[in-house]
Structure 1
Amino acid sequence: MQTVSTAWVNNQKRTILEESFVELFYDITDPEAIAEASVSDNGTCYISNTQQITNNIIKTFTPYATLERNVWVLDGSRKNIPENNYKAGYVSKYICSESSSFEQIPVIEISFAQTHTQSIPGITIIWAEEYNEYATDFKVVAYNDNEIIAEKRIIDNASTTSIVEMNIDNYNRICIEILKWCLPYHRARITDVFVGVRKTYDKSQLVSFEYNQYVDPLSANLPKTSINVEIDNTSDIYNPFYNEGMSKYLTPRQQIRARYGYKVDEEIEWINGGTFYLSEWEIPQNSRTAKIEARDLLEFMNATYMKGLYSSTGIDLYTLAQSVLQEANLPLNKDGSVKWTIDESLKNIYTNAALPLTTLSQCLQMIANASQCVLYVDRDDILHIEPIGNIIKDYTIDKFNSYKKAEISLTKALERVDVTIYNNTPRETAVAIYNGTMNINGTSSTWIKYTDPAIDVAATVTNGTLISAQYYTNACLLTISGNGAVEITITGRPLETSETIYTLSTGLTNGETQKVLNPLITTSERAANVADWVKNYLSNRKILSAEWRADPRLDALDIINIQNDYGTYPMRTTSVTFTFKGAFRGESEGRLLNDMA
Structure 2
Amino acid sequence: MLPTSDQYKRAVVSGNRSSAAIILFGVYDVTAKDDATLTAASQPFTSINAVKGDVREPDYRAGTFEQDYLNLDGSFYLMPDNVNPAQDILGWWSQQMSNSQGTFDEVDWGLSFKQTDYVSVPYDSRQNLTSVLSLETWIKFIDQDNRVIIEKSNNNTHFQFQSLQVNQGSLGAAGRIAFMVSTQPGDWVTNGSVATTLALNDGKWHHLVGTYDKASKTAKIYVDGVLNNTNTNITNVPTSNTSPLLIGSRSGVSGFGGSLKEIRLWNKALSLSEIQYSMTNSLTGSESGLVGYWRLREKSGIYAADSSPTTNRGTLVNSPDWIQYIPTITIQFASLHSSLGIGLFFGSSDCCSEFDVTWYRGASLIGYKQVTDNTLQDSNVPIAIENYNKIVIRLIKTVKPYRYARLMEIGFGLEEAFDNNELTIASITEEIDPISSALSVNTLKFTVLNKNQRFNMLNPEGVYAFLQRRQKIIAKSGLWMPDGTYEYLPMGTYYLSDWKNATGLTATLEATDVIGLLDRTTYRSSKFWVNEPVENVLRHILDDAGQFSLIVSASAASEKVTGYIPVKSHREAISNVLTATRNTLRVGRNGIINVIKVDYDTVLDTIRNDTLISGSPSIEQKPLVTSVEAKEYSYVLSPDTTELNNSTFSVVGTQTVFIEYGKAAANVSVTVTGSGSIVGSPVYSAVSVKLTITGNGSVTVKVTGRAYTEAARTVITQLAVIPAGEVPQTATISDNKLITGNGSLVATHVLNYLQRRISQKFGYWSNPAIQAGDCVSVETMFGSNRSGVVERQEITFAPKLIATLEVTG
> TM-score normalised to the size of structure 2?
0.64
- 1:222-371 aligned within 5 A: 222-264=439-481, 265-285=483-503, 287-301=504-518, 302-311=520-529, 313-330=530-547, 339-343=549-553, 349-371=559-581
Query: Secondary structure, in 3 states, of the residue corresponding to 2:751?
Result: helix
| CA distance in 1 between partners of 2:84 and 2:689 (Å) | 49
Give 2:712's aligned residue. Answer: 499
Query: Secondary structure, in 3 states, of the residue corresponding to 2:626?
Result: strand
Give 1:435's aligned residue. Answer: 646
Note the C-alpha offset of 1:431: 4.4
| CA distance in 2 between partners of 1:488 and 1:161 (Å) | 53
Please say if residues 105 and 178 of structure 1, whose CA atoms lie closer than 8 Å, have aligned partners that are also in contact: no
Note the C-alpha offset of 1:325: 1.1
Matching residue's letter, 2:499: W
| CA distance in 1 between partners of 2:579 and 2:366 (Å) | 51
Matching residue's letter, 1:499: A
Give 1:168's aligned residue. Answer: 385
Give 2:588's aligned residue. Answer: 378
Give 1:544's aligned residue. Answer: 760
1:328-354 deviations in Å (ceiling 9; x for gaps): 1125xxxxxxx1112456665444421
Give 1:65's aligned residue. Answer: none
Does residue 488 in structure 1 map to residue 705 in structure 2? no
Q: 1:350 to 1:127 in 2, by over 3 A?
A: closer
Give 1:177's aligned residue. Answer: 394
Does residue 447 in structure 1 map to residue 448 in structure 2? no
Give 1:77's aligned residue. Answer: none
Does residue 392 in structure 1 map to residue 396 in structure 2? no
| CA distance in 1 between partners of 2:690 and 2:374 (Å) | 52
Matching residue's letter, 1:91: W
Please say if residues 29 and 197 of structure 1, whose CA atoms lie closer than 8 Å, have aligned partners that are also in contact: yes
| CA distance in 1 between partners of 2:536 and 2:710 (Å) | 23
Give 1:473's aligned residue. Answer: 686
- 1:18-167 aligned within 5 A: 18-44=17-43, 51=48, 55=51, 57=53, 86-89=87-90, 90-96=92-98, 98=100, 99-102=103-106, 103=109, 104-117=324-337, 119-127=338-346, 129=348, 132-167=349-384
The alignment's C-alpha RMSD in Å is 2.7
Matching residue's letter, 1:17: N
| CA distance in 2 between partners of 1:128 and 1:424 (Å) | 55
Give 2:626's aligned residue. Answer: 415
| CA distance in 1 between partners of 2:378 and 2:738 (Å) | 54
Query: Secondary structure, in 3 states, of the residue corresponding to 2:777?
Result: strand
| CA distance in 1 between partners of 2:574 and 2:662 (Å) | 24
Matching residue's letter, 2:95: K
| CA distance in 1 between partners of 2:89 and 2:682 (Å) | 44
Query: Secondary structure, in 3 states, of the residue corresponding to 2:524?
Result: coil
Please say if residues 426 and 799 of structure 2, whose CA atoms lie closer than 8 Å, have aligned partners that are also in contact: no
| CA distance in 2 between partners of 1:409 and 1:36 (Å) | 51
Note the C-alpha offset of 1:355: 0.4
| CA distance in 1 between partners of 2:731 and 2:517 (Å) | 31
Which of the numbers 587, 590, 593 marks the counterpart of 2:807? Answer: 590
**Deviation larger for 476-485 or 380-389:** 476-485
Query: Secondary structure, in 3 states, of the residue corresponding to 1:392?
Result: coil
Number of paired residues?
553
1:88-114 deviations in Å (ceiling 9; x for gaps): 232342443523131525233141441
Please say if residues 427 and 495 of structure 1, whose CA atoms lie closer than 8 Å, have aligned partners that are also in contact: yes
Query: Secondary structure, in 3 states, of the residue corresponding to 1:224?
Result: coil
1:354-379 deviations in Å (ceiling 9; x for gaps): 10111111111111111111122110
Query: Secondary structure, in 3 states, of the residue corresponding to 1:28?
Result: strand
Unaligned runs of 5+ in 1: 60-81, 332-338, 593-597
Note the C-alpha offset of 1:564: 2.0
> TM-score normalised to the size of structure 1?
0.85
Q: 1:15 to 1:403 in 2, by over 3 A?
A: farther
Q: 1:399 to 1:513 in 2, by over 3 A?
A: farther
| CA distance in 2 between partners of 1:10 and 1:528 (Å) | 44
Note the C-alpha offset of 1:30: 1.1
Note the C-alpha offset of 1:303: 1.2
Query: Secondary structure, in 3 states, of the residue corresponding to 2:497?
Result: strand
| CA distance in 1 between partners of 2:522 and 2:85 (Å) | 43
| CA distance in 2 between partners of 1:97 and 1:233 (Å) | 45
1:463-493 deviations in Å (ceiling 9; x for gaps): 2334432333332112333332112222345
Matching residue's letter, 1:372: R
Matching residue's letter, 1:275: T
Q: 1:134 to 1:412 in 2, by over 3 A?
A: closer
Note the C-alpha offset of 1:135: 2.5
**Deviation larger for 144-153 or 394-403:** 394-403
Note the C-alpha offset of 1:242: 0.9
| CA distance in 2 between partners of 1:588 and 1:49 (Å) | 54
Note the C-alpha offset of 1:403: 1.5
Note the C-alpha offset of 1:166: 0.9
Matching residue's letter, 1:327: D
Query: Secondary structure, in 3 states, of the residue corresponding to 2:571?
Result: helix
Regions of 4+ moved over 6 Å = none
Please say if residues 619 and 760 of structure 2, whose CA atoms lie closer than 8 Å, have aligned partners that are also in contact: yes
Does residue 534 in structure 1 map to residue 750 in structure 2? yes
Query: Secondary structure, in 3 states, of the residue corresponding to 2:31?
Result: helix
Q: 1:189 to 1:477 in 2, by over 3 A?
A: closer
| CA distance in 2 between partners of 1:412 and 1:162 (Å) | 58
1:479-510 deviations in Å (ceiling 9; x for gaps): 33333211222234544433212222212333
Note the C-alpha offset of 1:441: 3.6
Note the C-alpha offset of 1:579: 1.8
Matching residue's letter, 1:417: V
Paired-residue identity, %: 20
Please say if residues 450 and 502 of structure 2, whose CA atoms lie closer than 8 Å, have aligned partners that are also in contact: no
Please say if residues 100 and 180 of structure 1, whose CA atoms lie closer than 8 Å, have aligned partners that are also in contact: yes
**Deviation larger for 198-207 or 174-183:** 174-183
**Deviation larger for 480-489 or 265-274:** 480-489
| CA distance in 1 between partners of 2:9 and 2:638 (Å) | 67
| CA distance in 2 between partners of 1:95 and 1:392 (Å) | 58
Note the C-alpha offset of 1:399: 4.4
Q: 1:146 to 1:87 in 2, by over 3 A?
A: farther
Note the C-alpha offset of 1:196: 1.8
| CA distance in 2 between partners of 1:267 and 1:516 (Å) | 49
Query: Secondary structure, in 3 states, of the residue corresponding to 1:447?
Result: strand
| CA distance in 2 between partners of 1:546 and 1:475 (Å) | 48
Please say if residues 586 and 773 of structure 2, whose CA atoms lie closer than 8 Å, have aligned partners that are also in contact: no
Note the C-alpha offset of 1:278: 0.7
| CA distance in 2 between partners of 1:534 and 1:146 (Å) | 62
Please say if residues 426 and 494 of structure 1, whose CA atoms lie closer than 8 Å, have aligned partners that are also in contact: yes
| CA distance in 2 between partners of 1:532 and 1:399 (Å) | 38
| CA distance in 1 between partners of 2:395 and 2:562 (Å) | 59
For the pair shown, the structure with the greater C-alpha radius of gyration is 2
Does residue 462 in structure 1 map to residue 679 in structure 2? no
| CA distance in 1 between partners of 2:84 and 2:378 (Å) | 30
Q: 1:299 to 1:433 in 2, by over 3 A?
A: same
